[in-house]
Structures are given as C-alpha cells and as structure tokens.
Structure 1
Amino acid sequence: MRTALVIGAGIAGPVAAIALQRAGITPTVYEARESTADELGAFLTLQVNGIDALRTLGVGHVVAGIGFPTPSMRFRSGTGKLLGEVSTGAALPDGTVGVTLKRSDLYRALRDEARQQGITIEHGRRLVEVRPVPGGVRAEFADGTSATAELLVGADGIRSRVRQVIDPGAAPARYVPVLNIGGFAPAIAVDGVQGGYEMVFGKRAFFGYVVAPDGAVWWFANPPQRSEPAPGELSGLGTAHWRARLAELFAGDRTPACEIIAATPGELEGWATYDLPSVRRWHRDRMVLIGDAAHATSPASGQGASMAIEDAVELGRCLRDLPEPDAAFAAYEQLRRFRVERVVANGARSSNAKAAGPVARVLRDALLPLFLRRQGAQAEAWLHGYHIDWDAQVVPATVPAGRR
C-alpha cells in the first residue's frame, strides 16, 4: 500500500488526506499545534468552486449547517454612493451558493470527516526536517519522533517548513499593506439584506459586514499600514487601541462601522496580511506543496480556502493516475499554477485598492462600477465555474515548470 505524510491539519491537509485515500494512498496527517486551535481570522467565505470541489470527493455535506449563504457583495464609497454589486458565483445546479462560516468550524468539520474516514491526525508534531530514504522520505519532528512514507505533502501554510526544505532560497511571503481585524456584533439594525455583504471603501480604511440568519453582524476592517509590523508589534496593542483607531478611521464615513464595532463584545486583535505571488519550486524529492504553502492569497480574494480544496482534489487525481511522484507532481503543478497565481494577483490588487490615497480613491470610485460589471461576469466563468472531474484521466505534464 502506498503511503503519504501530510504536514498541516488546517483546510488543505485534511482534504488532501481524504483525496489521497480515495486515490488508493494511505495518509497520516501531522499538525504542529497541540490541539485544534482557531487561527487569526474570525470567519471566511467558501465559494461555489470550493464547495463543488468538496462534492467531487463526496464530502460536500461537511459544510451543511455550519455557515450561511452569502450570494452577493455590494460596494459603496465612504460617502454612501453605490458603486456596484456582484454575485459570489453562479449557483450550483441544486441552488447552492457561496457560504460564510467561522474558520474554526470549517477546520473542525474537515478534521472530523477525515477521522470518520479512518485517517489518523496527530497533533503536537512540528516538522523540523525532511530527509530522503530509499523509496521515500522521512519527516523529523521537534519532539524527537519521525515518520516515513513514500511521499510528503506540505499543507503547512504560508510559513511552510516544507517549502523551505524544498527550496532553501525560496522568496519570503510578501507583506500586503493593509491589516485585518474582525468580530461579531449582536443583532443591531444596519443597512443590507441577510447574507449580502456590504463593502465600504471608506476615506481612511475599508470595512465589510454581513448579517447572519440570527441577526448578528459579522464584520471585518482593513486599516492601511504601509510598513510591515515588527514581530509582536500588533499583538501588544490591545483592544482599547483597536477600538480607538477604528473609530478614528471610520469617523465621517456613511457606514455603520462605528456602531457595529462599538457593539462588538470581547477582545479585538489585528494581524498583518501576506501573500505569495509566485513560489519558484512546488515539488522536489517526493515532496509537494499545496494550499497556502504554495500560493497564499490575501483575504481580499475570498478564495484562499477554495483554492486549497481544489489543490487537494487535483493532487489526489494526479497521484492516482501517475504513480511516479515526480510525474504526478509535475502534472499537478501544470494544472494549478496559472490559476492560483491569477487568484493571488487579483487578491493583491483588491487589497491595494483598499489602501488608496486621495487621488487614487477618486479614480477607483469612478472606474469601479465598470470594473465590477465586467469582472463579475468573467469571474463566474473562470473562477467560480471551475469544476474538477474526478473520473477524468490525468495526462503527464507537457510544459517545463519554469514556463507554466
């Protein structure tokens, strides 16, 4: 029986394990954290292409009931002017649309499904090194243990240790000049319809919110910050700082941002945004990268989770049809690289638009309505309409890696 080590138990890792098992490979998942832990970012969107990819594996049910439909996004300027509205993707044949859900709920659902399918997930196993062995690789962990298998899948996120092993000279993640902060406010009266995102390009910062079925308001803000924060800088600022800063940023904008933030209980914490425009090497010596380890995108794309899920499904198909790891990894990269790098680039442009200066704001608000109309229709085809046929035969890669 072929075996695989999957490093990381976030989103990409459990889905990859399920896909590998379906392809006839026995996976074991190793997670650095001691136990299931919520990561920075209170919630995320899972678009229809991501849901469709889960259904390809027969696990689409895992997201039923843990989020709520969010079929559209409406954009406004800080003056309240409507700039345009786009869908989050054409509905799937049964009417399913994109959903918003808590990140921790999605992690838990995917891990539970993997375990129910008999897949082992071990926590507290932080990878420190990978070494080749005859016919496979050996992963060495910080606790002194090790594990050996035929191949290794790096699903260990934007700070991926596997990426460093594959390419010690890999470029670091790129800082995107906006911060992130978000939370949940109890039911208050705000503009907008249930499940429809309201996105506001304020004069000083970007603000977005959506009303959940129970009336709670799920929100996020993107304070601009041109210089990359020093390690520990943001975590030391505290809730009082964030409340005061956000109140200052959104003062004068025609948005309920200040009311929503004031009504949000508990602690607030900001975090920095990073992406990976292009990772030079995705695979080497029976090791391969998926998800954020290969192509992290800013949250502005709304596609981080969906891209990771698509990766996992395509990797499973490639290893099923091309048993030699190098051939399978090359085919996987050819299937994925252009698509995901386009998503990363789009996300970076969206993030930069949130931090526009006075002149750029005028141009953005003038051109955005046209852009939304044009890009909305295109995105439904190339982005949201993407479908993976599990039963289709994978063919070997035909284009050299450096030319993809």
Structure 2
Amino acid sequence: MFDRTDQLGRHTMDRALIIGGGIAGPVTAMALRRAGIEASVYEASPAETDNAGSFLTLFANGLAALRTIGADGPVREASCAAEAVEFVSDTGRPLGRRALAGSWEAGFAPRTLPRAELCRVLREEAVRRGVRVEYGKRLVDVAVRPGGTVVALFADGSRAEGTMVIGADGIRSRTRVLLDPAAPPPRHTGQITVCGRTRDAAHAPPPRTYRMYYGRRGLLGCTTAPDGTTFWFANIPGPELPRGTLAAVTPDRWRRRVAAVFAEDGTRAAEIVAAAGDDIVGVNAYDLPSTAVWHDDHMVLAGDAAHATAPNAAQGASLAIEDGVVLARCLRDLPAARAFGAYERLRRERVERVVALSAAMAGRRARTADERRERDAEVERRMTKDPRTVLNWLTGYRIDWAAPVH
C-alpha cells in the first residue's frame, strides 16, 4: 500500500470513493481492501434493482481475476457451469461441438447467471468484507480541495470525501464526462439484445452446454441450468430505441418479435423463444471503441465507463472484474497519479482489442445463401482446431497479484 503525506506533512491513507455498484465497483472495492486501501461504493439506484431476464457469462479470465482476491466462491455458488459449445446452422444442420475455453482448467469452466444475481452476490461479499455500499447516490460533480482531498457531490445534496474517485458507473458514466466533457457517447451497434428463460425442456441443450443457433437474421444462444431453466439470449438487428420505448415493450411483444426473427429458420430457436414466460428483457447493444481520457490525477475509470463492449464476445463482465484487480495492484504499489497511468498502460491495449473483436462479431452477418454457406464452412473448420489455442489471449489472461507494479 502506498501511503502519502499531505501539504502539512501529516501521514494520511488513501481512501477511494467508488462510483457505481454494479460489477466493477464492488470488485474494485474488495481488491483495494486486500491492498490495504479503504474504499466505499456509491450506487445511483435507490436500492437493489432486479433485471432478472438479463443474464451473462463469466469466462476463465474473469473467474481467475475473482479468484485472485478470493471472491470467486460466492459467484460459483450462484451460477451454473458450461463446458462445451455446439453450433447449429440456420438450416438445422449441426456444425460441430467443442470444449469451451477454460473448461479444461479446474474451476474455470464458464459460469452463467443473471446479471442482477452477480451484482447482488458481489455487493454482499464486499459488505461482508467491510465495504460500505450506499444507495441513491447519483454523482453530480467532483471537487478537489487544496491538499488533495477529493469531494464527490451527489444529486440528493450529500457528499463524500476521499483521496480519489473511481468511476465504475457504467456505459453512461458521469465520471467519464467529468474527466472529459468532449468524450463521445456510446455507439449503438445496430443490434438489440433480448434475454429470456423457459422451463420447457423439450428443446433444451445437453447438460453443461451452450448451443448457438445461427439464424438468417439473428443469433440465439442458450444453456440449461441444473434446475431445468433454459437461459437464452438473442442478438437481432434493429435501430437504437429510446429508453421510454424500451421500457414500454411488453414481454409478449418481445417474445413475438424475437420468434419472428427465427421463424424462417430450420432450427428450434423460434420455439425456444415462444416457450418463454414473461421474464424477458430487451436492451440496446452499445460499445465504446476508445475512450481518450481514462484518468487525471484524482479520478480514474473502470469497467464499462472506460471500455464498453458489444455483447457478442461475452466479455464485458470479465473485463470489468479484471480492471478492478489490476487497478488495486497499481494503487497498492504507486501513488494515485502514477498508479492511474500504470493501470491504463496495463489495460488499454487489451480492452480495446476485445472491444474491436466484439464489434467485428456484431457486424458479421451472413445475408445471402452463399454467405451463410461460407459461414457454416468456417465454423466447421474452427471446430477442428485445438480449443486451447483459439483466442487464448482472450480467456487465458491472468493477473499476478504478487508481482510489483513499477
């Protein structure tokens, strides 16, 4: 842990004000506590929120980062594992099956769980470790006093004081705007992602397996939990919808819209969607190709606030977890201003590469019969490769907590 003295020569200790209580926020707080740095989390929502239809997958790199700070156990208990993935053409023809990245490492098979459940588990674990989490704290501004004290000002009129602000406040980050008022807004990817679940086991994938259906007009992936719940997501083309419009779409409208996207395919995708209950959520898919300003001497960004990815590579949550652990390592060994620079140096190239990969996947659409045949042939070729060598840079990333940061 790096200690500092103020302008009067008094010994002080760093205290982080973490804005955002989603994924990056609680992980960063836990990692900082392990580094000996006090941290509190300030979440804008008034209380725990539930977006039950939306779910996500943590791959080996995210799980390994959680293990680095001893926080992987509660996440494993709340999730289900998958060890293999299989692909199906829009014609219904199987294109192959292979092991999922990390499934050959003990404890690193990808885990699936509702996003709200992951956030809840991480917050509860952070609180158990002594982290204070406050709700209803929407950041308005940040002020820096002489001597370096940082003051976060919230919309309810309250304030908090510390030595740094960590913006883990998501894709619509207020912290990012305060750092750089010219920061570009998130980019819509031309997709809408719809998530749902069903208890209809008639079309469920085999146990511990992800099944990916390539459709003529969209992609549907699904996996089944041990209790028989099949989680599915669909990436479908569509323009950006205003928040009010999204909120007004009923589960039945989502169900009918998504089922229609896959209705002409020779797969079970449309039937899986049609069997879903009312637990369906649709969201605009965004990314941030590059954020010019990650930090100044007192504020720094983490997770989606710095580098949101399209959902296609399923890496948003894992990257946010990595960020929190790497940032804490840097702050353990360096004063804040230098630590923020080291953190950006260690993270920027990797995360922008993942964002670009996910954007390319989102834009890869086979519109004609010839293009679909080429896609199927390419998928079949990939199935013959050793899964341990495919995108190992992505899921094979590991953080050495013990290594010093210079």
Shared fold by TM > 0.5? Answer: yes
Q: Corresponding residue for 2:222?
A: 209
Query: Runs in 1 of length 4+ with deviation above 6 angstroms?
Result: none
- Which of 340-349 and 229-238 deviates more? 229-238
User: In 2, Cα distance between the equivalents of 1:27 and 1:92?
Assistant: 36
The AA in structure 2 aligned to 1:367 is E
Contact 1:137 1:152 in 2 (8 A): yes
Q: 1:264–1:91: structure 2 CA closer, same or farther, 3 Å change rule?
A: closer
Equivalent residue runs for 1:236-275 within 5 Å: 236-275=248-287
The counterpart of 2:116, out of the listed 104, 124, 132, is: 104
| Alpha-carbon displacement from aligned partner over 1:112-157 (angstroms, at most 9, x marks no partner) | 1111111100000000111122213211000011111111100000
User: In 2, Cα distance between the equivalents of 1:270 and 1:313?
Assistant: 30
- What displacement does 1:76 show? 1.8
Q: 1:365–1:203: structure 2 CA closer, same or farther, 3 Å change rule?
A: same
- What displacement does 1:70 show? 1.1
Q: Does 1:363 align with 2:374?
A: yes
User: In 2, Cα distance between the equivalents of 1:85 and 1:351?
Assistant: 22
Contact 1:136 1:286 in 2 (8 A): no
| Alpha-carbon displacement from aligned partner over 1:224-254 (angstroms, at most 9, x marks no partner) | 11x3223422333323322322232211312
User: In 2, Cα distance between the equivalents of 1:86 and 1:277?
Assistant: 30
Contact 1:3 1:26 in 2 (8 A): yes
- Which of 191-200 and 258-267 deviates more? 258-267
Q: 1:328–1:61: structure 2 CA closer, same or farther, 3 Å change rule?
A: same
Give the SS at the match of 1:153: strand
Contact 1:40 1:271 in 2 (8 A): no
Give the SS at the match of 2:293: coil
- Which of 186-195 and 142-151 deviates more? 186-195
Q: Corresponding residue for 1:188?
A: 201
Contact 1:166 1:283 in 2 (8 A): yes
Give the SS at the match of 2:244: coil
Contact 1:128 1:140 in 2 (8 A): yes
- What displacement does 1:101 show? 1.0
Q: Corresponding residue for 1:398?
A: none
Q: Corresponding residue for 2:309?
A: 297
| Alpha-carbon displacement from aligned partner over 1:2-52 (angstroms, at most 9, x marks no partner) | 211000000100010011111121111100001111347521101111111
Q: Corresponding residue for 2:403?
A: 392
Contact 1:17 1:29 in 2 (8 A): yes
Q: Does 1:26 align with 2:38?
A: yes
Q: Corresponding residue for 1:400?
A: none
The counterpart of 2:27, out of the listed 12, 15, 29, is: 15
Percent sequence identity is 46
Q: Corresponding residue for 1:144?
A: 157
The counterpart of 2:359, out of the listed 348, 358, 361, is: 348
Equivalent residue runs for 1:128-143 within 5 Å: 128-134=140-146, 135-143=148-156
Contact 1:15 1:313 in 2 (8 A): yes
* TM-score of the superposed pair, with normalisation by structure 2: 0.91
User: In 2, Cα distance between the equivalents of 1:92 and 1:247?
Assistant: 35
- What displacement does 1:73 show? 1.8
Q: Corresponding residue for 2:392?
A: 381
Note the residue ranges of structure 2 that are not aligned, 5 or more in a row. 1-12
User: In 1, Cα distance between the equivalents of 2:246 and 2:383?
Assistant: 33
The AA in structure 2 aligned to 1:178 is Q
* TM-score of the superposed pair, with normalisation by structure 1: 0.92
Q: 1:326–1:60: structure 2 CA closer, same or farther, 3 Å change rule?
A: same
Q: 1:168–1:376: structure 2 CA closer, same or farther, 3 Å change rule?
A: farther
Equivalent residue runs for 1:31-180 within 5 Å: 31-39=43-51, 42-91=54-103, 93-134=105-146, 135-180=148-193
